[in-house]
Structure 1
Amino acid sequence: MAEPMRLQKWLAQAGLCSRREGERWIGSGRVAVNGQVVTQPGSLVAPGDRVMVDGHPIAAKKGNRRVIVALNKPPSVLCTRHDPEGRQTIFDLLKDIPERLIYVGRLDINSEGLVLCTDDGDLVHRLTHPSARIPRRYRVRVHGRISEATLKQLRQGVVLDDGPTGPLDIVVDRDTSANNWLTMTLHEGRNRIIRRIFDTLDMKVSRLIRVAFGPVALGELARGHWRYLSEWEGRQLLADPIPLSTPEPAGQPPPRPVRKPAPVHRNRGSVRQR
């Protein structure tokens, strides 16, 4: 018989939200169990209990299959489920996927590139927790030239208003009088961290592209398009520690991009972990 579990974990496993977001929902009185509003995140849910969020009944997730997709987010598209101003969101681009997805590591409206989405809230919690220190790789275009002294300073880390960064892995890809293209690898995902790093130097980031999140690379995936992760990528996301992207071993079928408008995909090609 299944054991009772904490309510925020139950919500995460149902694919509604991350555990952290579930705690906020519970604390704000949005969740009811068996007709009673619950405000304590540590409350337990037993098999057969009826859970409602905002008055809507929620079904428990059946089985252990998880879906993970990679999306190439265009600039001007929001990482949010609903926008009161009616602007396009990443979930508009993923509307043909039947599962309710949660994004892993948001990008701000002006940034672009790789965003992972999954229906597994526990996986979201694991991948976004600061202790995970998952490597994230970015291509960054910065106005102006960067001196060797500035590069040395950046590589040692800088102090931001919410604390210091660790040492930064930075490679100069192209240097002109007008701007620099850099490749940066970070092991944290604080809000707008790269833009804030260059703000400390009075330098403007004019383009920011996430090209890898842990073992998953953006590759040739076109803007606004998505694909299911391969089985190999899914296994690598569950590794400890989680590695930065490397070529898949020989014999692994390459993941196939899904062109928009995307057809409905239910099981074929999705990552399944048991």
Structure 2
Amino acid sequence: MSGAQETEAPAKGDRIAKLLARSGVASRREVERMIADGRIAKDGETITTPATLLHSLHGITVDGKMVKQPEPTKLWRFHKPVGALTAERDFSGRTTIYDVFKNTGADLPRVMPIGRLDLNTEGLLLLTNDGAFKRQMELPASGIPRTYRARTFGDVSQSQLEDLISGTVIEGVRYGRIDANLERRTGKNQWVELTLKEGKNREVRRVLEHLGLQVSRLIRTSYGPFYLDDLAKGEVATVRKIDLVNFRKRFEKAEKK
């Protein structure tokens, strides 16, 4: 028997798409498109597959520009106003959230929105510099609650709203549990508060319209433990590091159960 000590095999590393998403370059899916377009290289040699494994981003370039090593994960709260698209650019010239950042002079690095708010929905939009964290927060399986307040017109009862707790099917699409409560009412006008965990496209509007209500205003007031509070429209605020760290600890602990 040989007296030589066995050595552990070196770690294989992470996929380049994961590392670039973590560094805030783009989402994993966007990185895969960038690789397909030949925009990413290592030490001058074009990378051809998103399955490429790396230990670091040393020598990686995007469009010829060196990629910096990942910054620590950060999170911001943003009060998205009505009329701003949750997109980086719009070829028809409509205003995007990134235009709002420029117009308000927000001092931000490259950030990505966590989830989306449609054009006519306002309120809390979380931003992060970490693509992997963004994806983790958006997954339906994560079960992170989002709360909205909707100003509506029409007839609805608390009993009808409580029926949403067991989910509903609209035009073949199933929407999961929604905890909805009727707030103050004046005639046929009322505010409805809704908390859900799936966040399908236009889910709140479609469910309320299915109940015969017209939605004239929709505001997201919270996403997980992070709240809109008194942020002015267009304003951005940094989430304290301790609050982010504590949330991630609770979140990761819950995922392991």
Same fold per superposition (TM over 0.5): yes
Contact 2:13 2:55 (C-alpha < 8 Å) held by counterparts: yes
Task: Tell me: CA distance 1:56–1:197, structure 2 relative to 1, closer, same or farther (3 Å).
Answer: farther
**Do the aligned residues in 1 keep the contact of 2:84 with 2:100 (CA within 8 Å)?**
no
Residue pairs, 1:1-274, within 5 angstroms: 4-27=13-36, 29-47=38-56, 50-53=59-62, 55-62=63-70, 64-95=71-102, 96-161=106-171, 163-241=173-251
- Note closer, same or farther for the CA distance 1:230–1:98 as it changes in structure 2 (3 Å cut): closer
CA distance in 2, matches of 1:15, 1:164: 33
How far residue 19 of structure 1 moved from its aligned partner, in angstroms, is 2.5
**1:104 to partner: Cα distance:** 0.6
- CA distance in structure 1 between the aligned counterparts of 2:173 and 2:79, rounded to whole angstroms: 30
Segment of structure 1 superposing worse, 26-35 or 172-181 = 26-35
**CA RMSD for the aligned pairs?**
2.6
Distance in 2 (CA, whole Å) between partners of 1:171 and 1:74 is: 24
* Greater helix content: 2
Range with bigger deviation, 173-182 or 212-221: 173-182
Distance change (3 Å), C-alpha of 1:139 and 1:226: same
Q: Which amino acid aligns with 1:60?
A: K
Shift in Å at residue 184 of structure 1? 0.6
Q: Distance in 1 between matches of 2:48 and 2:210?
A: 41
Listed one character per residue, the Cα deviations across residues 216-261 of structure 1 (whole Å, up to 9, x for unaligned) are: 111011111111112343124313348xxxxxxxxxxxxxxxxxxx
Percent identity between matched residues is: 35
**Aligned 8 A contact 1:145 1:180 in 2:** no
Instruction: Name the TM-score, length of structure 1 as normaliser.
Output: 0.77
Alpha-carbon separation, structure 2, partners of 1:31 and 1:205: 44
Deviation at 1:141, TM superposition (A): 1.3
Q: Could you say what secondary structure the match of 1:221 adopts? A: coil
Cα displacement (A) at 1:144: 0.7
Kindly provide the amino acid, as one letter, of the partner of residue 192 in structure 2: L
Contact 1:14–1:121 under 8 Å retained in 2? yes
What are the superposed Cα offsets for residues 192-214 of structure 1, whole Å, 9 maximum, x if unpaired? 11112123334322111000011
Q: Between 13-22 and 138-147, report the one with greater CA deviation.
A: 13-22
